[in-house]
Structure 1
Amino acid sequence: MSGRRPFENALDHIFWCDGCNVPLISENCDTCKGTGRKVLLSPPGDVRFCSPYERELIRDLFTGTYGCDPVKGRLILLNKIPGDDKTDEVIIDGHTIAVVSYDLKDSCYKLDLRLEGAKILMPLTNAKTVVLDVPRGKHLNGKGVSGRSVVSASPDIKKDDIILLRVSDTFNGYGVARTDSDGLKDPSENTIKIRKISSNNVILNDKASDIQDAVNANRSRIRAMEKDAVNILKGITCQGKNRELPVTVSFSGGKDSLVVLNLTRKAVKNYETFFIDTGLEFPETVKFVEDFAASNGINIQIEKAGNAFQENFPAFGPPAKDFRWCCKVCKLGPITRILSERKKGCITIDGKRRYESFQRGNIGTIERNPFVPGQMGIFPIKDWRAIEVWLYIHLEKLPYNELYDMGFERIGCWLCPAALQAEYVRMKEIHPDKFEEWQDKLYEWAGRSGLSREYVDLGFWRWKSHPNKMLNIAKEKGISLKAEATGDSMSLKIIRGISPCVSGGFSIEGVLRLPERAPVEHVLEMLKTIGSPVYSEDLDVTLVKAARGTSKLFAAGQVYASSDDKMYAQRLFEDTVKQVLRAAMCTRCGICVKACPRRAVKLDKHVKVDSNRCDQCGRCTDACVVARYYNKLTSEIKNTPNKQFIYGKKSK
Structure 2
Amino acid sequence: MKLKGSKATDLLKKIAVDVRWCDSCSVPVTSLDTCGVCGSRTRKVKAVPPADIRPAFSRDLRDLRELLEASYGAKIAEKLLPQRSIVLLNKIEYADAADEVIVGGFTIGTRIYDLYSLKWVFRPEYRGASLLIAERRAYAIVKSSTLKKFQFFERSDIVEGDLPEKGYVAVETADGRYQGLAKVLERGGLRVAKVWKAVPPLPKVKGYSDLSKAIKANEERLDLLENDALRLIENYREGSAVTISGGKDSSAALALAVKAGVRYAVYVDTGVDFAENYNSVKEICSLLGAELLVAKPRDGFWKCIRVFGIQSRDYRWCTRVLKLAPLAKIFSEKGFVTSITGQRKYESVSRAIAAQVSRSYTLRSIRSVVSPIHSWSSLEVFMYLEKESLPINRLYFSGFDRIGCYVCPMLKLPEINSISSLEFSKWNRFLKTHARKHKLPQEWISLALWRWRFKYPPEVETVLSKRGIKAKEIILRNLSSRVNIGLEGNSLRVILVDLPEVNLSLLARNLQNFFDVKRSSGEKLVLEDNIEVYSNGTIVVPSDLIKNIDFIVKSIYSIHVCVRCELCKYSSPDDCPVLKYLHLDVANLVRKILEG
**Normalising by the residue count of structure 2, what TM-score does the alignment of the two structures yield?**
0.78
Partner of 1:213: 213
Asked if 1:158 is matched to 2:157, the reply is no
Are 1:485 and 1:556, in contact at CA under 8 Å, matched by a contact in 2? no
Q: Closer, same or farther in 2 for the Cα pair 1:59/1:555, shift >3 Å?
A: farther
Q: Closer, same or farther in 2 for the Cα pair 1:393/1:485, shift >3 Å?
A: closer
1:549-583 deviation line (CA, Å, top 9, x unaligned): xxxx999789xxxxxxxxxxxx9xx98xx99x99x
> SS of the counterpart of 2:352?
coil
Counting aligned pairs with the same residue, the percent is 25
User: Aligned-pair distance for 1:351?
Assistant: 0.6
Partner of 1:187: none
Partner of 1:86: 97
User: Aligned-pair distance for 1:99?
Assistant: 0.6
1:153-207 deviation line (CA, Å, top 9, x unaligned): 44x6225542455969x87845536568xx97xxxxx767595476542322332
Name the CA distance, whole Å, in 2 between partners of 1:218 and 1:200.
28
**Which moves more between the two structures, 81-90 or 392-401?**
392-401
Partner of 1:111: 122
Partner of 2:137: 127
1:519-545 deviation line (CA, Å, top 9, x unaligned): 25789869xxxxxxxxxxxxxxxxxxx
1:333-387 deviation line (CA, Å, top 9, x unaligned): 32122112134x5211111111111232212121222543331211111111111
Partner of 1:63: 69
Partner of 1:35: 41
1:467-514 deviation line (CA, Å, top 9, x unaligned): 233333333324441326789xxxxxxxxxxxxxxxxxxxxxxxxx67
Asked if 1:139 is matched to 2:146, the reply is yes
Asked if 1:75 is matched to 2:86, the reply is yes
Name the CA distance, whole Å, in 2 between partners of 1:636 and 1:103.
39
Are 1:144 and 1:194, in contact at CA under 8 Å, matched by a contact in 2? no
> How many positions carry a matched residue from both structures?
533
1:131-172 deviation line (CA, Å, top 9, x unaligned): 66x58xx43455555655645444x6225542455969x878
Partner of 2:233: 233
Partner of 2:536: none
Q: Closer, same or farther in 2 for the Cα pair 1:324/1:522, shift >3 Å?
A: farther
Supply the AA of the counterpart residue of 2:81.
Answer: V
Partner of 2:560: 633
**Which moves more between the two structures, 11-20 or 75-84?**
11-20
1:140-539 → structure 2 map (5 Å cutoff): 140=147, 147=155, 150-154=158-162, 157-159=164-166, 161-163=168-170, 165=172, 173-176=179-182, 196=195, 200-202=199-201, 203-237=203-237, 245-268=238-261, 270-305=262-297, 308-343=300-335, 345-375=336-366, 376-428=368-420, 431=421, 433-467=422-456, 468-479=458-469, 480-481=473-474, 482-483=476-477, 517-520=484-487
Supply the AA of the counterpart residue of 1:483.
Answer: R
Asked if 1:19 is matched to 2:24, the reply is yes
Are 2:272 and 2:405, in contact at CA under 8 Å, matched by a contact in 1? yes
**Which moves more between the two structures, 629-638 or 375-384?**
629-638
Name the CA distance, whole Å, in 2 between partners of 1:556 and 1:116.
57
Name the CA distance, whole Å, in 2 between partners of 1:56 and 1:233.
39
Name the CA distance, whole Å, in 1 between partners of 2:196 and 2:562.
71
1:196-242 deviation line (CA, Å, top 9, x unaligned): 476542322332211111111110011011100101111333xxxxx
Q: Closer, same or farther in 2 for the Cα pair 1:205/1:337, shift >3 Å?
A: same
Name the CA distance, whole Å, in 2 between partners of 1:629 and 1:94.
58
User: Aligned-pair distance for 1:589?
Assistant: 8.5
Are 2:485 and 2:495, in contact at CA under 8 Å, matched by a contact in 1? no
Supply the AA of the counterpart residue of 2:354.
Answer: I
Are 2:255 and 2:288, in contact at CA under 8 Å, matched by a contact in 1? no
Q: Closer, same or farther in 2 for the Cα pair 1:201/1:525, shift >3 Å?
A: same
Name the CA distance, whole Å, in 1 between partners of 2:333 and 2:387.
36
Supply the AA of the counterpart residue of 2:138.
Answer: K
Q: Closer, same or farther in 2 for the Cα pair 1:632/1:235, shift >3 Å?
A: closer
**Which moves more between the two structures, 376-385 or 159-168?**
159-168
Supply the AA of the counterpart residue of 1:281.
Answer: D
Are 2:140 and 2:158, in contact at CA under 8 Å, matched by a contact in 1? yes
Supply the AA of the counterpart residue of 1:359.
Answer: S
Supply the AA of the counterpart residue of 1:76.
Answer: V
Q: Closer, same or farther in 2 for the Cα pair 1:452/1:210, shift >3 Å?
A: same
**Normalising by the residue count of structure 1, what TM-score does the alignment of the two structures yield?**
0.71
Are 1:7 and 1:354, in contact at CA under 8 Å, matched by a contact in 2? no
Are 1:483 and 1:555, in contact at CA under 8 Å, matched by a contact in 2? no
User: Aligned-pair distance for 1:324?
Assistant: 1.5
Q: Closer, same or farther in 2 for the Cα pair 1:193/1:100, shift >3 Å?
A: closer
Supply the AA of the counterpart residue of 1:201.
Answer: P
Partner of 2:113: 102
Q: Closer, same or farther in 2 for the Cα pair 1:521/1:294, shift >3 Å?
A: farther
Gapped runs of 5+ residues in structure 2? 500-506, 532-539, 580-596
1:549-568 → structure 2 map (5 Å cutoff): none
User: Aligned-pair distance for 1:449?
Assistant: 2.9
Asked if 1:608 is matched to 2:535, the reply is no
Name the CA distance, whole Å, in 1 between partners of 2:245 and 2:524.
54
Name the CA distance, whole Å, in 2 between partners of 1:150 and 1:249.
60
Name the CA distance, whole Å, in 2 between partners of 1:302 and 1:365.
25
Name the CA distance, whole Å, in 1 between partners of 2:316 and 2:495.
14
1:26-64 deviation line (CA, Å, top 9, x unaligned): 222111212211112212221111111111111112111
> SS of the counterpart of 1:215?
helix
> SS of the counterpart of 2:443?
helix
Could you say which structure has the greater relative contact order, defined with CA pairs below 8 angstroms and 6 or more residues apart? 2
Of the two, which has the highest radius of gyration? 1
Supply the AA of the counterpart residue of 2:295.
Answer: E
Name the CA distance, whole Å, in 1 between partners of 2:192 and 2:559.
66
Name the CA distance, whole Å, in 2 between partners of 1:96 and 1:476.
31
**Which moves more between the two structures, 205-214 or 410-419?**
205-214
> SS of the counterpart of 2:15?
coil
Are 1:305 and 1:334, in contact at CA under 8 Å, matched by a contact in 2? yes
User: Aligned-pair distance for 1:80?
Assistant: 0.9
Q: Closer, same or farther in 2 for the Cα pair 1:556/1:478, shift >3 Å?
A: farther
> SS of the counterpart of 1:328?
helix
> SS of the counterpart of 1:96?
strand
Name the CA distance, whole Å, in 2 between partners of 1:594 and 1:520.
15
User: Aligned-pair distance for 1:112?
Assistant: 0.9
Name the CA distance, whole Å, in 1 between partners of 2:291 and 2:555.
50
Supply the AA of the counterpart residue of 1:452.
Answer: P
User: Aligned-pair distance for 1:631?
Assistant: 7.4
Q: Closer, same or farther in 2 for the Cα pair 1:208/1:451, shift >3 Å?
A: same
1:562-601 → structure 2 map (5 Å cutoff): 592-593=528-529
Are 1:354 and 1:382, in contact at CA under 8 Å, matched by a contact in 2? yes
User: Aligned-pair distance for 1:76?
Assistant: 0.8
